[in-house]
Structure 1
Amino acid sequence: MNSKPTFPLISVVMPVHNTEEQVANAAQSVLAQTYENLELICIVNDSSDSSEEILLELSANDSRLVVISNGKGAAGAGPARNQGVALAKGEFISFVDDDDYVEADFLSRLYKTLIEHNVDMVQCAIRYIFKTKSKNKSYGSGIIRGEQVSVRIDMSDGFARLYPMVCGKLYKKELFDDIEMKAMTFEDIEFTPRLLERVESAFILDEQLYNYNKRYSTVTGWGELKRSQISEYLDSIFQTLPPYYTESACAIRAKYGLKPPTTVFANINNFTRGLNRVIFQKSPEFQSEFKLKYVDFVRRVEDLLSEEDWQFFSSNLVEPLVLRKDFWIQKKAPTRFFLKRITAAKSKLAKAFSSKIYVRWLEPYLYWVDFIFPKSPNIWLFSSWAYYPQHTLDNPRGIFEAVKDDPNIKKIVAVHGKFDENILIKDGNNVVFVPVVSFRSLYYILRAGVFFTGNALSPKFGYRNMMKHPKRRKLVQLWHAITLKKIGLTLDHNLELYWHDDANRYALITSTSDLDRQTMIESFSPKRPDAVVVTGVPRHDLLHMPEEKLPVDYREQIVNLRARKGSKKLFLYAPTWRGPLDDKSEFTIPQLEKLDALFESYNALFGQRIHLNNRKTTKRGFFTNNVLDLNSFPETTLLLREVDGLITDYSSIYFDIMQRDKPVVLYQPDIESYEYTRGLAYKSGSFRPHEETIDSFEKLYAMLEMALSGNFEPDQKYKDVKSKFMTFCDDKNALRVIAAMRKSKP
């Protein structure tokens, strides 16, 4: 006779306070779970409505519902949850608020995930329910293990992260031994980082199983806030901060390159925004009280935080209206004041954006102006990367470093993204930084006699309208990779439409060997083969350059990386950009767990760096003491100076690390489909630095195990590939490019 499997008891704790319109739905959503072995403990605190009666009626029909009434004057949600945990008989704990509700498979999905991945807690995604709409909120998907668990709360990097609410999760009950929530507002925000210090592992499940009801709120009714409650709210918000700024938390964030969570300023900003909406309805006494208490709150926070953390916190604060100098004018004539403020705001916005509007309006006509504008051979313009607003990177940076101290060359760095003078790396002689979308940028585009780029020009603002065959200007294509994939004119025209316009512009196209030169001729310059010269890759100079001669931002990042890796070996996983293609090479969670165990057994680290263009579509994350996220490092070259091995797929960055004779693994589980869809410039066996095609995770695991064991030595295959694709292995690449550029014709 078959019997049903026995599942452990799960205790769900629900604090209840004056929610007679929602509490039945909340309780019934728990009692209707497909996971049936549960108890629902409802702690009714200081309710003056019929919430308790509703629950008692439900409990009469379902013995799994336990109702505890604490009567008038009882403390808030924190002590109620503590009481529920103390009464709980289950092996696992979950929390549901009395005005929210959960999906029918909420507990079953969380429990199955917890057991399957052997973690201490599981978190699901949230659906926010508003009066007229709902919004799904994803927190990524993946596992966090080790010391990062306590700090990956509300991270803004787009990868797997925890939210600070206690609801929406399933916990092992022993986590709550000898730890309690405080009797305060925002009690779970303060409690979560303290609890997470005990958690060794957490799984982030990207399924919306918890419904957070934003239609009702017993906490944020700002219009009803009394003067006597101002101190209570601000004190509670202040109390939430210390657990996020412990010495341990700050050290872990610094080690892994993480910023403080948005939680630390979200509560005070929500409080401020709420009061800003109703402040004119409040009495002068209320306004004065809030102003004094807010200023005191800010001073206490500044005293609590380090200078760096304070700068981050204060830069994200929303300004209360009562602190504005014109507040009293505003209060006396709010309508007239707001009209004046709107007019002023429009004027400020107009000043800020008018120049960009005019620049964008003029940009299409750049072609005709370019025809007559004189060029200076001593003005050199360097393109930059949109994700790095401090300087240029990659091959253009290699050229820049070679000439930065030459006073006879005016070096223009056109910065993408937000232009901030305070973060620019201002080194060198006769160097000018300009935002790409600006009149100054267009002026220097027209005046520059030499232009260095590491990618296509046609899709980019300003550059796309330069003349196809400009007089007296030399466009130098320092392509950012040794070409393995089809690019330029060899690529399917439908994948990148602009290459026929772009390919004929260049005075010089760099290459790394005779074999690479032939491919670059076919890709960029079939009509002018002499424009392609074997020079080597300028960024390789930064691999060979003595550390003390590296630019300051590179040295700072190397110090940061060394702090993260310590004395351990570090292998980097850096796949290429996939575009719209299916990324079959992305590791599954079980595979990452196996890699985590493998690297731990060799006391080594597995670093992941997802291509910048793929980060918005990659939700999965896996963070442990052995698996690191290295996406905060903007420049791959500096990583390759430090790592002990590389795993990639079709990205030619592996040639960079071959300059150091380090292990390389090309992991290509989708080799057939990738070759068919994107196209490769060579047969994979001709550029692969190892004999076997690594097209399965099992083969990858075996090869990594061999590399980690210290048995790697470059074999003949490795040496042949290296010599075939790279003629030079030194720090003179930029000098060769400059010499070739001077000899080239526009």
Structure 2
Amino acid sequence: MPSAAAPRFSVIIPVYGVEGYIRECIESVTSQSYPDFEIVAVDDRSQDGSGAIIDELAARDPRVRAVHRAENGGIGAARNTGIAHARGDYLLFLDGDDSIRPGSLQALADRLDETDDPEILLFDYVRTHVDGSVEASKSGKHLAAVRGQVVDPRAHLELLRVFAVVWNRVYRRDFFTTGGFDGAGFHFTDGLYEDALMVYTTMATARRVAALEYVVVEYRQRRQGSSMRSSSPRKHFVIFEQYQRAFDYLAGHPGLDDYRKVVFERMVSHFLYTLARGFRIPRSHRRAYIHQAGQAYRRNEPKGFTPPPGLVGLKFKVLRTGSYAAFESLKAANGTRETAFRALGRSKRWGGRKALKTYYAVQRRLPVDENLAVYSAYWGRTPGCNPLAVHEAAKKLAPNLRGVWVVNQAHAGKLPAGITRVAPATFGYWKAMARAKYLVNNVNFPDSVIKRPGQVHLQTHHGTPLKRMGLDQQNYPAVARSMDFGKLMERVDRWDWSVSSNQHSTEQWERVYPAAFKTLNTGYPRNDVYYRAGAEDVRRIRGALGIAPGKKAILYAPTVRDHQRDAFVSRLDLARFARELGPDYVLLVRAHYFYGADRELDALAERGALVDVSRHPSVEELCLAADALITDYSSIMFDYANLDRPIVTYADDWEMYRTCRGVTFDLLSGEPGDTPGVIATTEDELIAAFRDGTWRGEEAAALRRAFRERFCAWDDGHAAERVVRAVFLEEEGLRPPVVPVAERTPAPSPEAATATTGTTAEPEHVAG
């Protein structure tokens, strides 16, 4: 049990810009079998939803404490704040986008007991990459060198070659807060590269250090968003100040001559490593960086220091001069062959481009049309979903903006009134793609589309992710076999904005699509209609579908199965179910748009057993017409929940689905917020739910309310307006503000719409 006084570990987590990762990070700690810990999560005035997430987790678990800084101070300041609030015997620093493996705290506690509480305990880690691969660290051999011992680091300098970060070691808190050569304790400094300074000063001071050959931390290699990918190259020049502080600290203390030589070698290697990362030090800053690196080299070079052998040592010697010309000459001599081969490859590829692509390249040299937006939905199908809702809002709020739609020939005959179309792979298409200021899609534009400077890509998405998406799909062969994840990330890199329907989606998109886009927590524009439609709209839509007054319409809308994409195969005996519902019901069936026509469905529709609405252009209208929804794992459930009408989950293959495709939460848990209503896993259970009335009972309604609170928190009828104001009008903040769920009035149910006399005012009419 946790100790009555201080916990064994204080896990300090700085929190900034980690909305997609912080939940996983904290839960990797709270799920540990070892219970004697506290988490101090420090929100460094993060601009995303990270602060709200740690508040939520702290409300659930008393071991989690959420601390909010008054102003942003950087990771060092956030760690210092965490230390001030820590009560544990040991400090474990964990970054908000990383996690620890199961059993880690127990392993650490056991080794601390075995070694009689050393000042520092080092441990191992792995790097996890976006492609799912895991890379072992290079620390193992150094940790093994002191296996089972408690040592003085000055006598075991190989420990200085363990990656110089604070999250691969735990510090005894009394050592950290009162240690040091001056007894004033240790404090993190501002700016990047603060870890190296802390590691080399604490290791110089400690006299009792132990090691654990156990992987504790999974160090996430993010494609975007890391503090090291700073937009300001000058921020990386702080590396010189940090190392100077380290050498100033070491200066004048006896017995550290050999120690200083190793730290110096690590410093110069770190300078070179940073210089080689173009995203840190671009060409325009290389001259100044090399000049300062040379100064730092000459100022701190220990007497008797010998550079490493080979090419690395040659780089040391050239860097010592601080000469940009000398370093570039060395680099050019080493890279001439590789550069020549790259140029040859480019020349060969250019010769094979077709006339349309040449035309596209020419158009990209012409000015961007600031008043042109290109829209597309579902790979060139009929205009719809979030892009159509944004388009309609833009016509009112940004009337100077012209919109054109990319629509395939197969769907050209179904265009709504007022839509201007361009056909894919035509001169008009490539001109629009090259010149438009805004490119809006609910999927990705083709790989052949090149984002030019000045263009803005708005990714609206088209559902809340119950199933695994993006990089998560790498672990599920049914979808991974047809996916090029490298190309996927190149497409994601084009996004400037990502629309989110709810907090769950935001966390998922941030994590599975790691890129530099900005998230719009607006709600889904396509769901605005559920708060703008009135009784007249509901009656009109039902009339067009042939639903007689007084009938109850049940919409059955299952999702696609990745292991069964060739044809629609209903998992429900539609004829039996329609028969069992009886004459007072109308069954509307919508197969997933990936599927083509189905003979059985056609035959049943011809017999009048059901209405096939698979090719209906608006799923939103179908939802407005339905008294209830039956689905399995389709994201339609999250949208339909806005209407506060019954939702029945028919999940006869849940185990198969979550094994083959993966899921982000347990839809069938029955817990409030997870499950939207009645669950049926067999046809008999489904039929019974409608016969005995549980499909619309109070228990189902209570689950639906919790589900709506969780997944419809931002959908209030104004999402499209918020998107247009943020992206097209470039207004600061998201406005209008979101209306709380309890204060909203969704479109009336069919029963209420039928009872409406038409004499009372109704919400804004929805165009058909």
Could you say whether these structures have the same fold, taking a TM-score greater than 0.5 normalized by the shorter chain as the test? no
Shorter chain as denominator, the TM-score bin is 0.3 to 0.5
What TM-score do the two structures reach when normalised by structure 1? 0.45
TM-score (structure 2 length as normaliser): 0.43
